[in-house]
Amino acid sequence: MSTSRRAIVVPCIDIQDGKVVQLVQGREKALEGPDALEMLERFTGFPEIQVIDLDAAMGVGENFAIIEMLASRATCRVGGGVRTPQRARQLIDLGAHRVIVGTAAFTPAFDDIVAEIGHEKIVVALDSKAGTVVVDGWATSLAVSAEQAITTFAEKCNGFLCTYVDKEGMMQGTDLEWFASLRGLTTLPITAAGGITSIEDVTSLLAMNVDAAIGMAVYTGRLSLTELLALTV
């Protein structure tokens, strides 16, 4: 099952304490990158950028000024701490092209978020660890798999961000079979994240019409932005 749109490479900008960072397993800071504007300039030419406000996700603050600056200069999908309709609306008002909703997608607040900004503006984050969806910063496991969850959101979002948490930030490759199984369950766009390390990972995902969210592999130089851009345009 596939969609008519062409899959793309999506570079990631994760923000913590006003700085661009990369975390391993969502907790341990592995590195700090250049400032957000410099990273955005490096990502020139990519059709969409993924921006995650880690402080908002962890409930310790927000980085609205940086998000607004990035969203005014590029097409950005933005996530991190979207737990209420008000927060979703704030991000849209700051210029977000789409809003990524994770934990709140599994709460009663989700229907209110959909009502506030419309399903076409929403990307549902399905983070999977040891075979089940994890929420609350990957601290809580739900009794549902991503495969089960993906079918319940068909009318409530415009795509999915699926993170293979077991490999996230570890530079060990990802689980292509898992992403292929998800691709077969929906015609909506799917973005793969977590452990994407090699150009072979990227080309395999694009071939199955799954977007590839790239973080650690770019920041450490394992993947070439020039090579990735050539796959996207």
- Across the range 103-119, mean pLDDT stands at 97
Report CA 16 to chain centroid distance, whole Å.
16
Catalytic residue flag (residue 53):
no
Out of 35, 112, 127, 201, the active site residue is: 127
Is the distance from CB of 161 to CB of 100 less than 8 angstroms?
yes
pLDDT of residue 17: 93
Q: Which two tokens stand for residue 190?
A: 């799917």
- Across the range 222-231, mean pLDDT stands at 95
* Cα(103)–Cα(125) distance, integer angstroms: 8
Mean pLDDT for all residues in the chain: 91
Is the distance from CB of 195 to CB of 174 less than 8 angstroms?
yes
Kindly list the domain boundaries of the chain, sorted by start residue. Answer: 9-232
pLDDT of residue 193: 93
Catalytic residue flag (residue 112):
no
Q: What does the angle CA 12 – CA 145 – CA 21 come to, to the nearest 5 degrees?
A: 20
Report CA 126 to chain centroid distance, whole Å.
9
Ordered DSSP codes for 113-161:
HHHHH-GGGEEEEEEEETTEEEETTTTEE-SS-HHHHHGGGTTT-S-EE
The three-state (H, E, C) secondary structure of the chain, written as one string = CCCCCCCCEEEEEEEECCEEEEEECCCEEEEECCCHHHHHHHCCCCCCEEEEEHHHHCCCCCCHHHHHHHHCCCCEEEECCCCCHHHHHHHHHCCCCEEEECHHHHCCHHHHHHHHHCHHHEEEEEEEECCEEEECCCCEECCCCHHHHHHHHCCCCCCEEEEEHHHCCCCCCCCHHHHHHHHCCCCCCEEEECCCCCHHHHHHHHHCCCEEEECHHHHCCCCCHHHHHHHHC
- CATH architecture of the domain with range 9-232: Alpha-Beta Barrel (3.20)
**pTM of the full predicted structure?**
0.93
Out of 14, 53, 201, 211, the active site residue is: 14
pLDDT greater than 50 at residue 50: yes
pLDDT of residue 118: 98
- Across the range 16-27, mean pLDDT stands at 83
